[in-house]
Amino acid sequence: MKKFPLIVFFAVFAGIMLSAHQGGWAAGGNVTTTVTKDTDIHYTGKYCTECHEKRPVKGGKKFLKYNGDFSKLCWCHGYTPGAYIHPVGVVPSKEKKKKIPKDFPLVNGRLSCITCHDIYLQCRVNPQAKSLNKRFLRGAPYLSRTTLCFRCHDEKKYKMLDPHNQLTRKGEIIIQKCLYCHVEKPDEKRATFKEVKLIGNLEVLCYRCHFKQSRLHPINANHLRKPTAKILAMMKESEKKYGIILPLDYEGKITCPTCHNPHERGVIPTNKPGAKGASEKYRLRLSKENLQICIACHKDKFQQQQQQR
């Protein structure tokens, strides 16, 4: 009976653990330690009052803070209305509505954060879910992220959809493609960046499909910011020198189309600076060869490196 004390020890220990984690809640669910942008509050069974006015019980009122406004509730992730990578707050088209599975709930008939994220899942301590389903996505884990997309989107249609493919085989403009990014089809012969009307935030426009690049862009440095006066002057010089455009977003910040040309070759007449980079490798406005695209804004930094080679 030598083993006996050990078994007792485990039984008692397990008992303590169980009572602490009863129903998945950790003791002290209402901890008020300061939460910063970097605190991971999910799946901890704590921090209830970060999101709830007071601790709710299942099936009862949810007591969500900010009237349940997710752009405020999810403040650590810095979303403003209209700036999420997937459309939210929209009423699904009839066609889509038929395909949306029952376990993806709409809120007042509209797509919401909780349509795809099972937020209640992360209210509880759940190490297994935390490792398998970090973003508490409904129906996860998925083999690949697009499997989730095809729960609602038609895979065949989705794969065919490439908004950079803008011309028919005969070279005619497919207007529908323009309307993917533009409010109305621009006059390709005349319109410049200042005149065209784009749909919403420029980065979000690209993130809708280039999701990965919102986290993991091959150029590591965070480029999506306002250039200094010095770099701005260099950009103007490069635009003239190379006959290109390096358009900034509406706030004067660098954005995806600053470096990438989203158009197919042949849409914008080739004699226009806005045509450079169309359908080139990585759709870059200047080639990556010999760091040309980098030199457009970092003449001092990279030209020295090049000369040393």
Binding to ligand HEC, residues 68-127 (CB under 6 A): 70, 74, 77, 79, 84, 86-88, 90, 92-93, 96, 100, 104, 111, 113-117, 119-120, 123
* 204 lies in the site for ligand HEC, by CB under 6 A: no
Closest CB to ligand HEC among 12 and 212?
A: 212
d(CA 91, CA 174): 26
* 293 lies in the site for ligand HEC, by CB under 6 A: yes
d(CA 92, CA 98): 9
Q: Provide the minimum distance between the beta carbon of 302 and ligand HEC in the complex, in angstroms, as a whole number.
A: 7
Residues 231-250 that bind ligand HEC (CB under 6 A): 231, 235, 245-247
Q: Provide the minimum distance between the beta carbon of 15 and ligand HEC in the complex, in angstroms, as a whole number.
A: 21
**Interacting residue with ligand HEC among 121, 129, 244, 284 (CB under 6 A):** 284
d(CA 199, CA 179): 9
d(CA 61, CA 241): 64
* 267 lies in the site for ligand HEC, by CB under 6 A: yes
**Contact string 20-59 vs ligand HEC (x = CB under 6 A):** -----x---x-----------x---xxxx-xxx--xxxxx
Interface size with ligand HEC, residues (CB under 6 A): 111
Closest CB to ligand HEC among 126 and 261?
A: 261
